[in-house]
Amino acid sequence: MISLGSGLLDLFVRDTANALWRRHYDGTWHAWESLGGPFPFDPVAISWDGQRIDLFMRGEDQTLQHRVYDGTWHAWESLGGSLASDPAVASWQAGRLDVFARGAADNALWHIWFDGNWHAWESLGGSILAGPAVTSWGPNRIDVFVRGADSALWHIGWNVLLWSGWESLGGNCLADPSATSWGPNRLDVFTLGSNATLQHIWFDGSTGAGWRPWESLGGQLEIAPAAASWRNDRIDVVARDPSNALQHIWFDGSWQPWSPLR
């Protein structure tokens, strides 16, 4: 799920037949749009300017597949790699993309980026159990979150010139995390907890509070959540429940109750 601007959301999902679908929100949810298939793995999307969408997916051959929407959908292209997870992508300015995935050979975090051209894959180390989550709160800032070998949430960040060391944020993650940011010095990370509820941890750097304690947001979920923010103090989270229905929870100063996404 991504936001193209204030009050806008785009949701990408696979159905039970592995077809890819897109749904757009601009104050109301519009009808589902088919993007073909079948596809073997889940998609991830990003927009760097509110008009273009870059869509990524792990292919059947475990390489990174990429597709662009700029008013029309372009053909898929392969960006290589050897992936053991779905990718995660962030953009900290127009013309910049950073994509991350778990490596098939070593379970480390791998990174490829675009700044007008695609660069070679690089390893960022670590030992991870699932796909990463990534977000950016501003230029030259990237924060990546993974489920570590101990099932805790781990974090590594890029700040202007270099990557930080890995740090543990604790917790007990059962699935891929999801991360979003509504502005500088704010990070919100979500994962599926041991009791199938939505678990949330956040970073508040503006007040100097740093990482706040984990909290449970309830629900009864089947897979990892997807989160997006389109303004200060607004977060939307979508996840699938055991009946395969999509459930939605959002924050607009306080957390609102779970409701079906119809």
Q: What is the CATH number of the domain that holds 103?
A: 2.120.10.70
Q: What is the pLDDT of residue 146?
A: 97
Q: What is the pLDDT of residue 150?
A: 95
Q: What is the pLDDT of residue 33?
A: 94
The residue type of 45 is A
pLDDT tens, the chain, 262 aa long: 899 889 999 999 999 999 999 999 999 999 999 999 899 999 999 999 989 999 999 999 999 999 999 999 999 999 999 999 999 999 999 999 999 999 999 999 999 999 999 999 999 999 999 899 999 999 999 999 999 999 999 999 999 889 999 999 999 999 999 999 999 999 999 999 988 999 999 999 888 889 999 999 999 998 889 999 999 999 999 999 999 899 999 999 999 999 998 7
The residue type of 146 is V
d(CA 259, CA 249): 7
The residue type of 219 is G
pTM over 0.85: yes
Q: Tokens 């929100």 identify what position? A: 25
Edge-to-edge strands, sheet with 226-231: 226-231, 234-240, 246-251, 259-260
d(CA 228, CA 213): 21
DSSP secondary structure letter of residue 10: E
Is there a contact between 232 and 181 (Cβ–Cβ < 8 Å)? no
Per the rule left: phi > 0, alpha: psi between -120 and 50, beta: everything else, 101 is beta
Which domain range does residue 43 map to?
A: 2-260
d(CA 100, CA 121): 9
Query: Where does 14-63 have alpha helices with state H?
Result: none
Residues 6+ apart with CB under 8 A from 22: 10, 11, 12, 32, 33, 35
Q: What is the pLDDT of residue 196?
A: 92
Vertex 81: Cα angle to 79 and 85 (nearest 5)? 110
The domain total for the chain is: 1
What is the length of the chain?
262
